[in-house]
Amino acid sequence: MLSTMTGTLVDATNREKISALGQRVLSGGHISREEALFLFNLEESADIFDLLSWANRLRENFKGNKIHLCSIVNAKAGACSENCKFCAQSSFYQTGSPKYGFVDPEPVLEAADEANQNGVTAVGLVAAWRGLNEGPMLDEVCDRIRELKAGGKTRPDASLGIIKSQKVADRLKEAGLECYGHNLESSRRFFAQHCTTHTFEDRLETIRHLKNAGIKICSGGIIGMGETREDRCELAFELKAIGANVVPVNILNPIPGTPFEKNTRCQLSKS
C-alpha cells in the first residue's frame, strides 16, 4: 500500500501510483501535499486520462450522478471598490460592464420563476462591492432573501463579498440564507498578484463567520491567472481545510480592459 510517494511505490509507473492514490481516497483515506503535487504535475495524456477516470470514479462514489443546477442574479453591478485583476466589475478598469445599484424585489422573483421552470434549485444574489456591513443595505439584502425563501420555488443563496462581523452572518442565516459563495480565488502566496485591496485572510475570516452561523460554503478559485501548479495545489488544500461544501473551479476569461486581458486561457507559470 502506498503511504508516501517515497515509499513502496517509488519505482511504480504513474498508472500504478494514480491507481494507488485513487484506491486510498475511495476507501476514505487522504493524500499528502507531495502526492497531490505529483498529480498536479502529470503531463502525459495517458496519465491525464487515468487521472480523469479516477476523478470520475471518486465523484460517482461520493456524489453520485445527480447534477445540481444553480443560477445567479446580478443584484448590484459594476463600480466595485476592489481591484481584482480578473474582474469586469472593478472600478479600477474600463470594461464596459453595466453599473446599477441594489435590485428591487421584482427582478429577483422573476429570476426565481425562470430558474424554477428550468429545474434550477438555487438562485444566488451576487453583488459587486467590497462586502456587507450592518446597516440599511443589510436590511435590504435580508428582505430579498426572505422574499426568495417565501416564494418557495428556489433555495436562496448569495455571494456578497467580505463579512467582517459575526452579526452580519447571523442575520443572513436568520433571513433564510443556506449557502454563500466566496471563492478563495488562488493560493495565499499568489493572492496579492491579483488583488491588493483586500487579503486572503479577509476571505478566510468571512468564511469563518459564515460557518459559525451555520451557512454552507461554496468556495473555489480561478485558474489561468499566471499561478504555478504549486499554487493550485495549495488552493486545493486551503479549500479542504475550510471544509468547502461546494468547490467551483473557474477558468479565467481574459476580459478586455482588465490587467489580465492578455492572459492566454489557462495561463500557468513555471515554479
Residues near ligand SF4 (CB under 6 A) are 80, 82, 84, 87, 89-90, 128, 161
Cβ 121 to ligand SF4 shortest distance, Å: 24
CB nearer to ligand SF4: give 22 or 259.
259
CB nearer to ligand SF4: give 51 or 187.
187
CB nearer to ligand SF4: give 90 or 219.
90
Cβ 148 to ligand SF4 shortest distance, Å: 21
Cell output for 101: 445599484
Cell 485572510 locates to 201
Cβ 251 to ligand SF4 shortest distance, Å: 15
Please report, to the nearest 10 degrees, the dihedral formed by the alpha carbons of residues 42, 43, 49, 53 taken in order: 20
CB nearer to ligand SF4: give 128 or 158.
128
Please report, to the nearest 10 degrees, the dihedral formed by the alpha carbons of residues 17, 22, 28, 34 taken in order: 50
Cβ 241 to ligand SF4 shortest distance, Å: 22
Distance between alpha carbon 201 and the CA centroid of its chain, in Å?
16
Decide: 186 and 229 in contact? Cβ < 8 Å: no
Decide: 125 and 160 in contact? Cβ < 8 Å: yes
